[in-house]
Amino acid sequence: MPDPTPDPHRDVRPTLEAVAARAGVSRATASRVVNGGAGVRQPLVDQVRKAVEELGYIPNHAARTLVTRRNGAVAVIIDEPEFRVFSDPFFSRQIRGISRELNAHDAQLVLLLVEGSGDFDRVTRYLAGGHVDGVLAFSLHTDDELPAIIRRFRVPTVYGGRPQHAARGQDDPELPYVDCDNRGGAREAVRHLVSLGRRCVAHIAGPRDQVSALDRIDGYRDVLPDAAEELVVDGDFTTEGGARAMTELLDARPDVDAVFVSNDLMASGALRVLRERGVRVPEDVAVVGFDDMASVAEATEPPLTTVRQDVEGMGRLMVRLLMERLNSGTGAWPDSVITPTELVRRASA
Amino acid sequence: MPDPTPDPHRDVRPTLEAVAARAGVSRATASRVVNGGAGVRQPLVDQVRKAVEELGYIPNHAARTLVTRRNGAVAVIIDEPEFRVFSDPFFSRQIRGISRELNAHDAQLVLLLVEGSGDFDRVTRYLAGGHVDGVLAFSLHTDDELPAIIRRFRVPTVYGGRPQHAARGQDDPELPYVDCDNRGGAREAVRHLVSLGRRCVAHIAGPRDQVSALDRIDGYRDVLPDAAEELVVDGDFTTEGGARAMTELLDARPDVDAVFVSNDLMASGALRVLRERGVRVPEDVAVVGFDDMASVAEATEPPLTTVRQDVEGMGRLMVRLLMERLNSGTGAWPDSVITPTELVRRASA
DNA sequence: CCGCTTGTTGGTCCCGTGTGTGACACGGTG
DNA sequence: CACCGTGTCACACACGGGACCAACAAGCGG
């Protein structure tokens, strides 16, 4: 049953003017109290606070934004036309980290999913409209238009994952990013396999248009510069793609005794194929994945040895860098950060 | 290399005033043109449009919101303290549908992740602050405070999934929801197992504080009202939980010859246990899941027969209902919608 | 006692748009 | 020729709140 005596104040939201009137001060003073209370005597501060409480005053966001030119919102742009994102817990975890850290900064998260070039107009209009103070972008593809748009409109941005231009060796200080040490993590994984005495270590790679996949290939080659071409097989970061790549690999090189797989999903597909073919893991073939996605790596048979990256922490870090940039009056850009990885040993290697 | 002769207009965003001046009309006329151009002669419309183009004018969102009291944004509130959300593609897919439909309506998506009671204050402030025109809420738990808050502030809302109070039989027209036919889908799954000649059909249920899990139990009981208590085993919607439940079930009732599992993740865990115990699927035990999450159901061994729900379509539908409500001057509430399910037959049953 | 400094406070303007209210021109009608 | 309805347009106000600036009081040193 609805409230029988509805409060008339409920529908008409009180304004700062009303608070000031009730507290018996001017609107300017009320405003000062609401924004921290600096330069106002304690008794008046208390009066205003009381009036705010009694009236249930909540500042009008639009009015405040209009004058401060700040709106306390950050856009998260994910450019991922493939279906993969939505079956990959990676983004969800990163967004969780981002959400938590944004909450700590009293900022809101506006989610922009980009699918196809047509959407870029929309994003452009949105950014140009000044709806958000900054952007957290996930630029996954090498042919991405996003960096150009962001540069053009000078929107403070932090990237998740090393953007392509940086991968070309042209680190742009105006496009800071947060990424895990893909190359170093890959090196550690391959070294681990080598240290187990494996002689023929293969690599199932991710899609070549993703920087993280390329970096992991580089890490593999750092340790095994002389590995045969055919030992590196392309995959697409999906379970099925991993299974196909493993099949291809076994057919081409029956002597393979270890595989470093570029992510956990593909590794789970690879494990399935190995099991179907009666190949023992890790006795005959040792397998190491990448990501340490709990729902996958702990559920495989056998449980997957893999390279952990702290996805949620990376999300939080992105927010911190962006806030640093927004709150530094100087407009100085923060440095990019590469977070460490850690080899998690389970049963598969 | 940055533009050598940076456009001075770039940093100072043009205002409607500037557009009007350039077009030689008053600001009021320029405003009318920008908002559709009704009641303005064609030649003037063209002049203003040209000025907008030349200046690269983009309306100031905050100023517009201040006067129209509409801000073209919708909050998506997900109250899920458990880690599960983030390893479950369910939400991602629904959000994808929501995002697409919001784009079609030129509205933005503000993501609010709620974790724990402390966060409700934040959400309350946010909703009361009038940051969004409406809310899409996923109320998963029976002890949810969200409906009360939303009712209190009279924010137009559409629920994803039948809220608890509706499950108690008190359908509140002011809290419309979109849900799939959990009970009907469960019935179809169980009937299918019965039609295969199975005599001892068990059910691995989801957590009892989630309405969808309860509805699926009801569907199971609709078909098998006399099933023994011990044939219904509790799970938690995770792969591991499914494995535990299956183990428990096999120990208690070795004669079981079919299982309807409340979601695909648990079904994949159950299949793993069956395989480990050397139980053949579907010969010895037939298995049906729920959700038809492609990444899971197609990847299990054997591929999973399951009940499909159109998650993305449900997301889109939620947005349509909300927009209907927002755009109807009458403030009338749309009706709740229950979308159909479909049994997808693969190899497991 | 006077002038100056420091600390508070209120008045006022401005942020950028939407919209109601008139004014004006035009053409048709009596 | 006077009157009036219709279509266009400009003016001005309002939306809610931040920030500058002048006014004022109190305190202090000379």
Give B-chain residues touching A239 at CB under 8 angstroms.
295, 299
Q: What is the mean pLDDT of chain B?
A: 87
Q: Which conformational region is residue A98 in: left (phi greater than 0), alpha (psi within -120 to 50 degrees), or beta? A: alpha
Residue B345 domain-assigned (yes or no)? no
Taking all residues of chain A, what is their mean pLDDT, rounded to a whole number? 87
The answer to whether residue A130 neighbours chain B at the CB level (below 8 Å) is yes
48-67 of chain B touching strand D, CB 7 A cut-off: 63, 66-67
> Over the Cα atoms of chain A, what is R_g?
26
Sign of CA dihedral A272, A273, A278, A281: negative
Contact between the CB of B63 and strand C at under 7 Å: yes
How much is the pLDDT for A3? Answer: 33
Residue A227 lies in a domain: yes
pLDDT above 70: residue B329:
no
Is A25's CB less than 7 Å from nucleic acid strand C?
yes
Q: Could you tell me if B48 and B99 lie in one domain?
A: no
User: Can you tell me the mean pLDDT for A76-97?
Assistant: 72
C-alpha span between B80 and B141 (Å, rounded): 8
pLDDT at residue B171, as a whole number? 66
B269 in a structural domain: yes
Task: Give the 3-state secondary structure of residue A72.
Answer: coil
Q: Are residues A303 and A317 in the same domain?
A: no
Residues near A103 by beta carbon (within 8 Å), at least 6 away in sequence? B119, B122
- Residues A272, A318: one domain? no
Rounded to whole angstroms, how far apart are CA atoms B134 and B110? 10
A87 contacts B89? CB cut-off 8 A:
yes
B230 touches chain A (CB under 8 A): no
Looking at residue A62, which CATH number applies to its domain?
1.10.260.40
Higher pLDDT, A21 or B330: A21
Given 3-state DSSP classes, what are the helix, strand and coil percentages for chain A, each rounded to the nearest 5? 45, 15, 40
Q: Which of the residue ranges A42-56, B95-109, B135-149, B296-310 would you say has the lowest mean pLDDT?
A: B135-149
Do A190 and A286 reside in the same domain of the chain? yes
Q: Is B13 on the interface with A (CB under 8 A)?
A: yes
* Dist. CA A249–CA A244, nearest whole Å: 9
Q: Which nucleotide is nearest to A58 (CA to C1')?
A: D16
Position B170 scores a pLDDT of 62
Residues A189, A171 within the same domain: no
Tell me, yes or no, whether A212 and A301 share the same domain.
Answer: yes
* Residues A269 and A241 sit within 8 Å (Cβ to Cβ): yes
Question: A283 to each of A197, A280, A339, how far by Cα in Å?
Answer: 12, 5, 32
| Edge-to-edge strand ranges of the sheet holding B305-308 | B232-234, B201-205, B258-261, B286-291, B305-308, B342-344
Residue B98 has pLDDT above 70, yes or no: yes
Residue B100: closest C-alpha in chain A: A113
Per-residue pLDDT at A168: 60
Provide the residue type at B235 as one letter.
G
Mean pLDDT, residues A17-40: 90
Asked if A58's CB is within 8 angstroms of B129's CB, the reply is yes
Output the pLDDT for position B297.
87
Residue A9 lies in a domain: no
Scan residues 62-91 of chain A and list those with Cβ within 7 Å of strand D. 63-64, 66-68
Q: Which tens digit of pLDDT belongs to each residue from B229-285?
A: 999 999 998 888 999 999 999 999 999 999 999 999 899 999 989 998 999 999 999
pLDDT band with cut points at 50, 70 and 90 for residue B169:
low
Task: Give domain status of residue A300, yes or no.
Answer: yes
pLDDT at B8 over 50: no
Please, which pLDDT band fits residue B93 given cuts at 50, 70 and 90?
confident
| pLDDT at residue A7, rounded to an integer | 38
B111 touches chain A (CB under 8 A): yes
Same domain, A296 and A328: no
At A163 the pLDDT is 79
Question: Does A344 lie at the interface with B, CB-CB under 8 angstroms?
Answer: no
Lowest-pLDDT range, A81-95, A335-349, B180-194? A81-95
| Mean pLDDT calculated for residue range A128-151 | 79
- What dihedral do alpha carbons B294, B299, B301, B307 form, nearest 10°? 0
Residue A117 has pLDDT above 80, yes or no: no
Confirm or reject contact between A293 and chain B (CB < 8 A). yes
Q: Which residues pair with B137 in a beta bridge?
A: B77, B159
The reply to whether residue B100 touches residue A115, judged by beta carbons under 8 angstroms, is: yes
Q: SS3 for A126?
A: helix
Q: Is the CB of B208 under 7 A from strand D?
A: no
Q: Do residues B298 and B319 share a domain?
A: no
Tell me the percentage of chain A whose pLDDT exceeds 70: 89
Q: Please check whether residue B282 is in contact with residue B302, taking contact to mean a CB–CB distance below 8 angstroms.
A: yes
Chain A residue at shortest CA distance from B172: A1
The pLDDT score that the predictor gives to residue B10 is 42
- How distant, in Å, are the alpha carbons of A111, A115, A171, B317 from that of B100? 11, 9, 34, 11
Q: How far is B112 from chain A (nearest CA, A)?
A: 7
Residue B54 CB coordination number (10 Å): 13
Would you say residue A9 has pLDDT above 60?
no
* Chosen from B71, B113, B300, B312 to mutate, greatest number of chain A CBs within 10 A: B113
Residue B86 predicted with pLDDT over 60? no
**A311 band by pLDDT with thresholds 50, 70 and 90:** very high
Percent of chain B at pLDDT exceeding 90: 57
Chain A window 35-54, residues with Cβ within 7 A of nucleic strand D: 35
> Which A residues, 161 through 200, put their C-beta within 8 Å of a C-beta on chain B?
none
Domain count for chain A? 3
pLDDT of residue A170: 61
CATH code, domain carrying A86: 3.40.50.2300
- B225 with B280, same domain? yes
CB-closest option in B76, B89, B240 to A86: B89
| Token pair of B39 as six digits | 């009641």
Confidence of residue A8 (pLDDT cuts 50, 70, 90): very low
User: Residue B333 has what pLDDT?
Assistant: 83
**Does strand D come within 7 Å of the CB of B40?**
yes
Residue nearest to nucleotide C6 (CA to C1'): A39
The Å distance, CA of A13 to C1' of C7, is 33
In this complex, the answer to whether residue A346 has its CB under 7 A from any atom of chain D, a nucleic strand, is no
User: pLDDT band at B5, cuts 50/70/90?
Assistant: very low
Q: pTM for the full model?
A: 0.85
B44 touching A (Cβ < 8 Å): no
Helix (H) or strand (E) holding B153: helix B146-153
The predicted-structure confidence for A234-274, as pLDDT tens digits, reads as follows: 999 888 899 999 999 999 999 999 999 999 989 999 998 99
Does A280 touch chain B if contact means CB atoms closer than 8 Å?
no
Predicted confidence at residue A348, as pLDDT, reads 95
B316 touches chain A (CB under 8 A): no
First-to-last CA distance in chain A?
A: 62
Q: Based on the number of CB atoms within 10 Å of its own CB, is B331 exposed (0-12), middle (13-18) or buried (19 or more)?
A: exposed
What is the CB neighbour count within 10 angstroms for residue A105? 15
pLDDT band at A82 (very low <50, low <70, confident <90, very high): low
Do B187 and B280 lie in one domain? The reply is yes
Please, what's the b/e burial string for B86-120 (b: 16 or more CB within 10 A of its CB; e: otherwise)?
bbbbbbbbbbbbbbbbbbeeebbbbbbbbbeeebb
Q: For residue A58, which residues of chain B lie inside 8 Å, CB to CB?
A: 125, 128-129
Question: Which of B61, B86, B131 is opposite residue A129, by nearest beta carbon?
Answer: B61
Q: Is A301 on the interface with B (CB under 8 A)?
A: yes
**pLDDT value at residue A320:** 95
Q: Within this chain, do residues A202 and A294 fall inside the same structural domain, yes or no?
A: yes
Q: A62 and chain B: CB distance < 8 Å anywhere?
A: yes
Residue B342 lies in a domain: no
Q: What is the pLDDT of residue B338?
A: 95
Q: Looking at residue A101, what is its pLDDT?
A: 95
Tell me if A62 and B85 make a contact (CB, 8 A cut-off): no
Q: Which H, E and C letters describe B23-85, residue by residue?
A: HCCCHHHHHHHHCCCCCCCHHHHHHHHHHHHHHCCCCCHHHHHHHHCCCCEEEEEEECCCCHH
Give yes or no for CB of B35 within 7 Å of strand C.
Answer: yes
- The A342-344 sheet, strands edge to edge: A232-234, A201-205, A258-261, A286-291, A305-308, A342-344
Residue B85: its chain A contacts at CB < 8 A?
A: 92
Residue A87 has pLDDT above 60, yes or no: no
Residue A234 lies in a domain: yes
Q: Do A86 and B99 touch (CB under 8 A)?
A: no
pLDDT on residue B40: 83
* Residue A5 reports pLDDT greater than 50: no
Tell me whether residues A61 and B130 touch, CB distance under 8 A.
Answer: yes
Beta bridge pairs of residue B136:
B76, B158
- A275 → chain B, closest CA residue: B301
Domain assignment of residue A36, given as a range = 16-68
Question: Beta carbon of B67 within 7 Å of strand C?
Answer: yes
Of A68, A91, A112, the domain-final residue:
A68
pLDDT in tens, B51-70: 999 999 999 999 999 999 88
Q: Which nucleotide is nearest to B42 (CA to C1')?
A: D8
Q: What is the pLDDT of residue A178?
A: 95
Instruction: Please tell me whether residues A159 and A246 are part of one structural domain.
Output: no
Q: Which of A246, A190, A186 is closest to A218 using CA atoms?
A: A186
Verify whether the Cβ–Cβ distance B238 to A295 is below 8 Å: yes
Neighbours of A132 (CB within 10 A): 25
- pLDDT tens digit sequence for B172-183: 777 899 999 999
Name the nucleotide nearest A17; use CA and C1'.
Answer: D16
What are A212's two structure tokens? 């993280």
- Please report whether residue A342 resides in a domain: no
| pLDDT of A171 | 66
Which tokens in the block code for residue A114? 């980009």
Contact B93/A86, CB-based, under 8 Å? yes
What's the average model confidence in pLDDT over A311-324? 94
Q: Is the pLDDT confidence value at A79 over 90?
A: no
- Summarize pLDDT for B105-126 with one digit per residue, the tens: 989 999 998 887 778 888 888 8
Interface A–B counts its CB contacts (< 8 A) at: 130
The span from the CA of B244 to the CA of B241, in Å, is 5
Q: Provide the shortest C-alpha distance from residue B95 to chain A (in Å).
A: 9
Q: To the nearest whole percent, how much of chain A has pLDDT over 90?
A: 61
Residues B299, B267 contacting (CB under 8 angstroms)? no
